[in-house]
């Protein structure tokens, strides 16, 4: 069918990390929450912010900035928790602030620059150049869930 050849627009939930815009496919995002009480968990990696009670379910939170090799997120009234889901697993991603919802043509997405650290590039689907000269880095939520760090942590390594 000809319709299968036409690129479908993608909807992205955009948010800020360390002054940069990041995004995740809306199909991987369940909801966005304002800052709330976080229970710290001892003897866990620095990027594991803690856990929250989300309507009776315990959800682990990661500081996405630390997880991607940047500075720790400074929690403020603008900070948000993005609840991401991959298959039946959920994870809270702590970010600086929520931005807009973007609808894009996936053909506009470029490959990740070769200068990015391989560990960070592996977490990205690509980069969307914007008319103002900035970019939106599009996260691969599945890659985050299946990353070596989270996999090792789940196994207790």
Which domains are assigned to the chain?
Answer: 2-149 (2.40.50.180)
Grade residue 144 by pLDDT with cuts at 50, 70 and 90. very high
**Could you read off the pLDDT of 32-48 as tens digits, one per residue?**
999 888 999 999 999 99
Contact 103, 136 (CB under 8 A): no
Asked if residue 3 has pLDDT above 50, the reply is: no
What's the mean pLDDT in 69-95? 92
pTM (predicted TM-score):
0.87
Residue-level pLDDT at 151: 81
- Listed residue (81, 80, 77, 78) closest to 90, CA to CA: 81
List the beta bridge partners of residue 136: 21, 128
Please give the backbone phi and psi of residue 17, each rounded to the nearest 5 degrees, phi first. -135, 120
Q: Phi-psi bin for 63: left (phi > 0), alpha (psi -120 to 50), beta? A: beta
- Listed residue (147, 83, 98, 97) closest to 121, CA to CA: 147
Mean pLDDT comparison of 70-79, 89-98, 106-115, highest-scoring range: 89-98
What are the residues whose beta carbons fall under 8 Å from the beta carbon of 9, sequence distance 6 or more?
A: 103, 104, 105, 106
**Pairwise pLDDT comparison (155 vs 82), residue with the higher score:** 82
């Amino acid at each position: 069918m000809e319709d299968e050849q036409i690129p479908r627009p993608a909807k992205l939930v955009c948010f800020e990390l360390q002054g940069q815009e990041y995004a995740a496919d809306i199909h991987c995002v369940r909801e966005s929450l304002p800052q709330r009480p976080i229970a710290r968990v001892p003897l866990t990696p620095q990027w594991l912010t803690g856990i929250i009670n989300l309507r009776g379910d315990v959800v682990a939170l990661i500081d996405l900035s630390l997880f991607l090799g940047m500075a720790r997120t400074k929690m403020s009234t603008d900070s948000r928790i993005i609840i991401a889901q991959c298959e039946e697993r959920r994870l809270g991603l702590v970010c600086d602030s929520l931005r807009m919802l973007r609808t894009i043509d996936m053909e506009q997405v470029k490959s990740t620059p070769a200068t990015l650290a391989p560990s960070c590039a592996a977490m990205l689907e690509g980069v969307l150049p914007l008319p103002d000269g900035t970019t939106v880095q599009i996260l691969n939520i599945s890659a985050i869930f299946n990353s070596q760090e989270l996999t090792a942590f789940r196994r207790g390594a």
